[in-house]
Structure 1
Amino acid sequence: MMMEELRENQIKLGGVLSPDGTKINSFGNDRAGLEAAQTGVGLYDRSHWGLLQLKGEDRSRFLHNQTTNNINSLKSGQGCDTVFINSTGRTLDLATVYVTDEAIEVLVSPNRRSFLMTWMDRYIFPMDKVELTDISEQNAIFTLLGPHSDRILEKLNLKSIIGQPVGSHLTGEVANCLVRVGVGTGLTLPGYTFIIPREKALPVWQEFVNTEVTLLGENVWEHLRILQGRPVPDRELTEEYNPLESGLWKTISFDKGCYIGQETIARLNTYKGVKQRLWGVKLDHPVEPDTEIFLEETKIGVLTSCTETQTGGFGLAYVKTKAGGEGLRVTVKGQTGELVSVPFLTHEYYQPKS
């Protein structure tokens, strides 16, 4: 019921609901929203994303063994990005982990919530002290994006989290409600993510709106995530690619020991076996995803996402490593494109400490 009231409020503020009714596609201010996220502060409702919870004595060990990052090293109040992969090292989802005294909460992509519940459940054995719960319906998720996000936290008396590492989080009060606020936006843009009990979603939303943030819909988020280079399931993150190809090196611990798919990831790093890499692509105008990319007459890759910018088009694409990288001029559906680095991705091999 509270989410219905939130949606009604958002629609009154100019929100256009998606056909499936799960999110606001636009507030009719996409250009202003994009500018706010880059130079001011914007507010994005991520309540359609998934939030999974792990409890029990073995929760850290279990998630440590399921994903690429070093979950065992995290203390309460810390967090990180991590990748779920299968036994052959192919990507399932990019998730954000928040560790508390009582549980671990995992923020997952909207279309991976049910899949990952089933995926993890199959690896919980009778002796494991792990309780897995989908708490998505009990919580709303809002993200503040932009360089002026700190000002909002100062107004809300949450300034103790300012300046902390990405993934850090604490419990604070907004609109007389206890919420969890974490450092990071999921886009390598400055900002904070809030996890809110769903029955308090509307008053917390209104509190943010009263601080004069610019409201962002899904259109702006999608545009930003392509510009920043965040890969998503069914586009860049599929079982055709591994997280090294996807540029997610920062989410991988090469010293943590065994986990699902670890042997494949370690071998690719040791023998420098990454055959293709994800890059940004500057274009004169947008083209459809799945368009092939050529170097002269040779196919060298495929475009996975694309958006329109004020100067043309911008996409994400997997390109064969041997063909080249940043600065490479390629042909995409009759036009010339240029491969560029994007903030979210890295492509440096890990060098073990001697």
Structure 2
Amino acid sequence: MTETTALRLAGRDALALLHRISTNALADLTPGQCRATLFCDFRGRLLHRAVVGAGSDGALWLFRDDAPGAELAAFLDRHVFRDDVRIEDRSHELPVAVAAGGAAPAPGTMTERAGIPTAVLAPDDEALTLGAQAPAGDDQARTRQRILAGRPGHGHEIVETFTPFEVGLAHEVHLDKGCYTGQETLMRLVTYQSVKRRLARVKGPGAVPAPPAGLTAEGRPAGILTRAVRDGAGWIGLAVIRNDACEAGHPLEIAGGGRTEPPEPLPARRPLGRG
């Protein structure tokens, strides 16, 4: 069973801290609103992603449905110096899951009951249910759902191998918000149009390959298969693939044996800001 994250941040400097160290603009977040943001290293490579919601009591909540809270809590704590910020890991009390249909919050909002969040829906994302309402489900079914939705996840696409622009998360990077870790590198990638890879859905026949696995096109490196799961008589997965290999539309060879059908590039996203 995949562990999930629910962190509560309190203190007068909590919002300023998150705005300062992550990619999205959060300084104007007001109670009842939510936004997804990313945490990168100095190279602009991905470390963490979370949906940030502002509570009615002034606290901030960070949620994710595919990774435990302890590592993110420790990461945040390393950035707290003389700031008035208190971090509580409430992950065991508030399990997080993708909503299985039914009513969802309005995009960009978080709902609460008696001061405890019950659901969030970040812009251009899927709704998450929290606490006792979080539906149960097996990991294989969740993985397949995530692949079909083209949602990058921790430990697969949200890893230090990739930047946000390579895995379909450009829309969670704000180019006008000022300095944060990785900002200079990400800005250069945009300025010089240097993003050479993109997220794609792939599938193939036979046994499910074991990711991460290298992909080649006519013997040349073409990308990385990041996850795969059984789909009928074959398998379906996500991969980060060079733009030219996506555009060529040819099958790709998988390291260790097997091949994909022609990759299906996922829709490109644009960073926020700069017109």
**What's the TM-score once normalised by structure 1's chain length?**
0.68
The CA deviation at 1:82 is 1.1
Matches within 5 A, 1:304-323: 304-310=226-232, 312-323=234-245
The answer to whether structure 1 residue 273 and structure 2 residue 214 are counterparts is no
Partner of 1:337: 261
Matches within 5 A, 1:121-136: 121-126=77-82, 128-136=83-91
Partner of 2:149: 228
- Say which one has the larger Rg: 1
Residues 185, 219 of structure 1: CA spacing in aligned structure 2 closer, same or farther, 3 A cutoff?
Answer: farther
The answer to whether structure 1 residue 195 and structure 2 residue 130 are counterparts is yes
Q: Is the 8 A contact 2:199 2:265 kept in 1?
A: no
Matches within 5 A, 1:1-354: 23=1, 48-101=3-56, 102-108=58-64, 111-126=67-82, 128-146=83-101, 149-150=102-103, 161=105, 164-165=106-107, 167-172=108-113, 179-184=116-121, 188-189=125-126, 192-196=127-131, 201=132, 216-285=137-206, 286-310=208-232, 312-325=234-247, 327-332=249-254, 333-342=257-266, 346-348=268-270, 352-353=274-275
The CA deviation at 1:81 is 1.3
SS in 1 for 2:201: strand
Q: Is the 8 A contact 1:109 1:233 kept in 2?
A: no
Q: Is the 8 A contact 1:250 1:346 kept in 2?
A: no
Q: Can you list the C-alpha shifts for 1:54-82, whole angstroms capped at 9, x where unaligned?
A: 11111111101111111112211110111
Residues 185, 315 of structure 1: CA spacing in aligned structure 2 closer, same or farther, 3 A cutoff?
Answer: farther
Residues 326, 169 of structure 1: CA spacing in aligned structure 2 closer, same or farther, 3 A cutoff?
Answer: farther
Residues 331, 142 of structure 1: CA spacing in aligned structure 2 closer, same or farther, 3 A cutoff?
Answer: closer
SS in 2 for 1:118: helix
Distance 1:179 1:125 in 2: 28
Give unmatched runs, 5+ long, in structure 1. Answer: 1-22, 24-45, 154-160, 209-214
Give the letter aligned to residue 246 of structure 1: V
The CA deviation at 1:315 is 1.2
Give unmatched runs, 5+ long, in structure 2. Answer: none
Residues 350, 250 of structure 1: CA spacing in aligned structure 2 closer, same or farther, 3 A cutoff?
Answer: closer
The CA deviation at 1:138 is 3.3
Partner of 1:5: none
Q: Can you list the C-alpha shifts for 1:161-188, whole angstroms capped at 9, x where unaligned?
A: 4xx21x312224xxxx775233439995
Q: Is the 8 A contact 1:269 1:350 kept in 2?
A: no
Q: Can you list the C-alpha shifts for 1:127-167, whole angstroms capped at 9, x where unaligned?
A: x1222221223334454323xx13xx7xxxxxxx4xx21x3
Give the letter aligned to residue 121 of structure 2: G
Residues 82, 185 of structure 1: CA spacing in aligned structure 2 closer, same or farther, 3 A cutoff?
Answer: closer
Q: Is the 8 A contact 1:292 1:301 kept in 2?
A: yes
Distance 2:203 2:220 in 1: 19
Name the count of aligned residue pairs: 271
Q: Can you list the C-alpha shifts for 1:101-138, whole angstroms capped at 9, x where unaligned?
A: 32110013554522222211121112x12222212233
Residues 185, 170 of structure 1: CA spacing in aligned structure 2 closer, same or farther, 3 A cutoff?
Answer: closer
**What's the TM-score once normalised by structure 2's chain length?**
0.86
The CA deviation at 1:248 is 0.4
Give the letter aligned to residue 194 of structure 1: T
Distance 1:301 1:143 in 2: 28
Residues 224, 323 of structure 1: CA spacing in aligned structure 2 closer, same or farther, 3 A cutoff?
Answer: same
Q: Greater share of helix residues, 1 or 2?
A: 1
SS in 2 for 1:62: helix
Give the letter aligned to residue 53 of structure 2: Y
Q: Is the 8 A contact 1:326 1:340 kept in 2?
A: no
Give the letter aligned to residue 116 of structure 1: L
**Range 56-65 or range 110-119, more displaced:** 110-119
